[in-house]
Structure 1
């Protein structure tokens, strides 16, 4: 028996990336692996399969890249077109998960002011005075959790259908434009209901924006300022912004529905904290219990796999990915992905020329671009389909392809 103890010590499982957190890029940044053999041995990934995932990604958007971190090692970072580590494009609906996390932090910080948290009914003078008087009395039943899971009953944009019990059961027509345009907040608050709160799911960007108004009212801070203080500075992000320009119009507030503009390796920092249940070094930046809710089915939305702005795979609708994977896609093909069981995070950088325009973000960027993706047209989904690869399809396929690169 005296020989048993050292044997047990030798086979103890290593703690891969648990105690590692990257420095800011300006101070050395992420630890990296470049060699295929080292990537396989240390990170348990097949470089050839990651290259295949990258090749697929290039078919889904005009510009972009693919970055993969496993066990705390940045093992893959490749770009195409205007994609670059120094690029800071507007990432469309990827911003929704940043809105969600900001609200999660605010609920903990201001718990005394909102003791019921996500169960709080917010369409009232205490939490949303901007909404008073209500344009529809049924909105008084909408909870914050429903807003962040898009089950508040608010009409989705475009012709997004209404899902009931997982089935796209209700065809929704686009909302008519008002004769007199509403301001940013009122445009969201006056979104009509297509069903009773909790009665169905429809993808409505007005929902997270309303949640961001609640956060602004609770904290007295603009959401981008709140994120800068609570996440950007502690994590050591480089320059970033919330893109507020829409043509000739500059929005007064960060749009809770999206368009955060972040460097690729800083998206990874955010995801890495989410992977580590909100921790960054010795700081608990994001409430761990809130992150736990993001990655699994939620009571606030029983109609679609959307939990607090994250799509989750608990039902296995991505057959080639672990069931604990959760992620968010954004217009133009962007994707942020967390897979706890694989100790892995993925950033799918994407976008078109307009999303890389510095005028949209107000950030100066200087990096080379060879013009190789000018006039790019989207690839077809397959030889049997005349439609291009969609935003959601592209992200979901990347989740599966990178998961398939795991070899340990």
Structure 2
């Protein structure tokens, strides 16, 4: 890692102080028992300029030297059939697959199973949390969004972007999905290489990249924050919506995302084991992020309008109603300060739907067995994913 001079430059800014003293940051601290300080800042800061060199080397050696379909077929062959030290294949691919095929000493498959069960049994609340808290809340961090802007994600459209996120999340959170050669493992490896491909493309084509302020494109510290979104922030959202989470599920959820992060090439020392660590790590990272800018607002509104553009619901009144419900959940989960910065529209009776959902969830948790909830949640989530894939894989949809 190269030498860095990064400082917690926004620690005295209003948006940072308010988040950690009155907003969701305070709730996360109370929930996790975190000890917030900048003592470890210098330990984490270099990762703002650190990237997954192994993944980058694979892209340089395979994707940049062959046609994209040919390179993809080669990678899929390695994913599905495995790699050995004696194979006559590019050295970079050998290095990547020997790393990801090696099961880490710390991996506990029973904990992974508990984490997957939490994701499934939370049913559509999981998808609400991903969309209306994790994704749109991430847009409030202006520098984190810069790779999305540089790769012209807005042109691709929110329906496609949401479909890709959902496809990844569902496929890494099913039973046994992360076993070597299985579908979740495949998604993790492919996503890792997509990140490398995007990073190298940004370096080559985006001449205005502000490395000092924004770090390396898709750097390891930003990746850590993204996966804290999938673990800590996601879990906080489920609790806000009235779900109960057992101690075993909580441990399992962090363990699952630690392993996904490991497969994605995030340094293991950046991957928290529990909510206390995750909150403390997140606190340090948020101190280098300014609040929403104009790009943040564009991304947020693109996601809000996805409900209107998506043809899964046939009638316009259904789509408008769905957008209204997502806006209600966004205000409820993110809080007023973030929603005002992202210019989320004001709507009447915005607490009605989320509060009703809280009450229903508490009753449902008491009346329906855990096994039945897991089974139904998996079925409903797979149905939503299938609907999205049917839409986005239709060549007439843009």
Q: Which has the higher contact order (CA 8 A, sep 6+)?
A: 2
TM (norm. structure 2) is 0.28
- Which protein is richer in helix relative to its size? 2
- Which protein is richer in strand relative to its size? 1
Q: Which has the larger radius of gyration?
A: 1
TM (norm. structure 1) is 0.28
